[in-house]
Amino acid sequence: MARAIISFGHLSRFTLRAPWWKKQQDYAAVKTSEDEETMDTAEPVYHPNMLRRVALGHIDKSTRMIKFIFFSFVMLLVLAFVVMFISQLVFASNQPAQNNVQKSKMNTASPSPQTMHPTSSYGHAIYDGHLHPPAAKGMRSILKSPCGTNATSARAAGCHFDIISFAWLHHKCYDAELSKSFSSIHEWEWFLQPNREQPVLASEALSGNYPVLYVNWEYHVRHCTYMWKKMHRAILKENGLETIDWYIAPDAVVKR
């Protein structure tokens, strides 16, 4: 329902005004419509400071992650180093004890290869798996131990006690020149025990009366070298092949 308001100053003019409650409803409707349209069509606007804070936040997270990975890797390296260091200490502390045990076993059970080597004029044995005939008929008689089984029978058979082989050898196998050269290298020592106790004089050792004596490691090395020399010299001599097997293993028991 409209109400006419007449201005007394201007009688010819008048204005129609809507009721006050109608204006508020229309205004509210229009206002709501404009707000919805603005919200649908407006684009987001960010403040520069807000963008900067977001970027800095991402950078801080990345930096913290890199630092965490780096320090984790460093800690793993330190832990590995500590474990290796402790292992080395444990190994070093156990090594002397193991060496002492090995030395005690070697001294009680067998002669040490670093200090001595047993030699014997008896008990040599060879296994020959080859089915080949003897090089000559004379070899069979030689392989039957022509020097006997003791010093008395060896002397009676005209055999010589060789310092290199440390055994009684037939005259065909004995190389006097090479044996003299071996004797002049060093003042060799012989012992009755593997721990190098009870030394034996050189004259007694070379008498051939001892089936087993013990010597230093250097003696063993020289012995091997001169045994090869004996073999080569015997091959070059006349009828050397007939006796080569014999003096490599004197007083041997050959199994075929």
What average pLDDT is seen over the chain? 64
Share of the chain above pLDDT 70, in %: 48
Q: Which amino acid is at 131?
A: L
Average pLDDT, integer, range 223-246: 71
In degrees and rounded to multiples of 5, residue 148 shows phi and psi of: 85, -160
Per-residue confidence (pLDDT) for residue 59, from 0 to 100: 63
What pLDDT digit, counting tens, does each position of 105-140 carry? 333 323 334 444 343 333 333 334 444 444 444 444
What pLDDT digit, counting tens, does each position of 145-184 carry? 678 778 888 888 888 888 888 888 877 778 888 888 888 8
Q: Round to whole Å and give the CA distance between 16 and 4.
A: 5
Per-residue confidence (pLDDT) for residue 158, from 0 to 100: 86
Contact 188, 219 (CB under 8 A): yes
What pLDDT digit, counting tens, does each position of 238-256 carry? 655 655 555 444 444 333 3
